[in-house]
Amino acid sequence: MKIGISNDHSAVEMKNEIKKYLEEKGYEVIDYGAQTTESCNYALYGKKAAEAVVNGEVEKAVLICGTGIGISLAANKVKGIRCAVCSEPVSARLSKEHNNANMIAFGARIVGIEMAKSIVSAWLDAIFAGGRHQQRIDTIE
């Protein structure tokens, strides 16, 4: 499975750690994020990864900025994206089970690297429940 990853300047180090973590788990990771800590616009990086999901370049994507909020808002502007900000694994799991989130976001200034790995794992391991949850997603779409 191909997974996109994107970030702003505040999350270069965390992005690199999560990218390595995903590759060690056997995923192919496509990097759409900032490569340096020079100040940049998170919205551009969120949109780039979101478009990659919608266009089928990748199946899912992980976004990281300072809080996870700004980059997720940018991603959610792209039709077909359901990006949830998660600061712990339970929300990450439920974002997939109930909302079929095709992207998640978190903050490099909010969670540590081990929590970030737990969030990513919970989301990737979760399975969409369908049923009444699909009806709700249809309403959102």
The strand order across the sheet containing 2-7 reads: 28-31, 2-7, 60-65, 103-107, 83-85
Residue at token pair 């391991």:
125
CA distance 7 to 127: 25
The catalytic position among 9, 40, 65, 86 is 65
CA distance 13 to 90: 24
CA distance 11 to 33: 9
70: nearest Cα among 22, 108, 16:
108
* Active-site residue, 9 included: no
Q: How far is CA 110 from CA 29, 92, 135, in A?
A: 23, 15, 33
The catalytic position among 40, 83, 86, 98 is 98
* Active-site residue, 86 included: no
Which are the catalytic amino acids? 65, 98
